[in-house]
Structure 1
Amino acid sequence: MSDCCSRRALLHSAGVVGGALALSACGAAENTARDAASSAGAAASSALKDAVSKATVPVGGGKVLADQKVVITQPTQGDFKAFTAVCTHQGCIVADVSGGTINCACHGSKFDIATGEVKQGPATQPLPRKTVSVTTDGIKVT
């Protein structure tokens, strides 16, 4: 047998491939754990840390809290709603609330401030709702 095809060369190659597969599996497990931790962190941060003042959410409009990925609206006096601020089209954070819609500046999608339903595409899915609690301290979202 030549050196390229010797038993020793074959065993060495198998060891290198096996080691690479083991390292690859470790990396995949690490990525899975990191993704799970990231998802848990995102879920924990989905609740507002502090109450938002009712006065900062205009009637017929709303307020985008981009850092917390939440949009709070007040379609009619005293009726507060909350939705994810992540556009269902391609994941941009919505830009503002005006004209009775929650507006995404990335591609022009518009969502109803009372229901989160799509008023104008390209988005085809509504904004998912969040739970709103209105207290004397303000508005809390979970």
Structure 2
Amino acid sequence: MSGSQETSRPVVARRTVVAAASGAGLAAVLTACGGSDSPATSAGDAPAGAGPTSGGAGGRVLAKTADIPEGGGKVVGDVVVTQPTAGEFKAFSSKCTHAGCAVKEVADGVINCPCHGSKFDATDGSVKAGPATTPLAAASITVEGDSIRLA
């Protein structure tokens, strides 16, 4: 009987297929987004003063040095790049440590979060005003000519 052939096939519940597809999608997103954490976590891996990786790879270009105003900065995706003093460039996560909002502007040496008013020092990412209590995570960058790159 043809009915016995159908009962011998494994039956996969719709819930299992949806869960597997969701897990695969999540894995793809985490893999794609994994690079955004690497600058902050890899900063201690390279010796102090080390240049970009060999072959000129150096990481993606975040900005041109001329685009970052002295005493200010620029938010570039998940990184905020600052220039506290002439020729000195710093980078931090753009994710506010209070509630995870993206910081939006850098002015007069302060990185500002629009959600709840947290303020961070553009020199070292430390908290200048709450409600945040934890500094912004530092990101490792290199300056190559007029380009600022993730390290």
| TM-score band, normalised by shorter chain | 0.7 to 0.9
- Which has the larger share of helix? 1
Amino acid at match of 1:72: V
Matched-pair contact (CA < 8 Å) for 2:61–2:150: no
Name which of 105, 123, 141 aligns with 1:132: 141
Pairing partner for 1:41 from 9, 32, 35: 32
Find the counterpart in structure 2 of residue 94 from structure 1: 103
Instruction: Confirm whether residue 30 of structure 1 aligns to residue 39 of structure 2.
Output: no
Pairing 1:75–2:75 present = no
SS of residue paired to 2:63: coil
Matches of 2:112 and 2:63, distance apart in 1: 20
Q: Distance in 1 between matches of 2:118 and 2:134?
A: 10
One-letter amino acid matched to 1:115? D
Question: Once superposed, which parts of structure 1, at least 4 consecutive aligned residues long, lie more than 4 Å away?
Answer: 45-48
Structure 2 equivalent of residue 10 of structure 1: none
Q: Per chain length, whose mean CA-contact separation is higher, i.e. which structure has more relative contact order (CA < 8 Å, sep 6+)?
A: 2
Q: Please, what is the CA RMSD of the aligned residues?
A: 2.2
**Count of paired positions:** 121
Q: 1:114-133 to 2 correspondence within 5 Å? A: 114-133=123-142
Contact 1:51–1:137 (Cα < 8 Å) also in 2: no
Unaligned runs of 5+ in 2: 1-10, 40-58
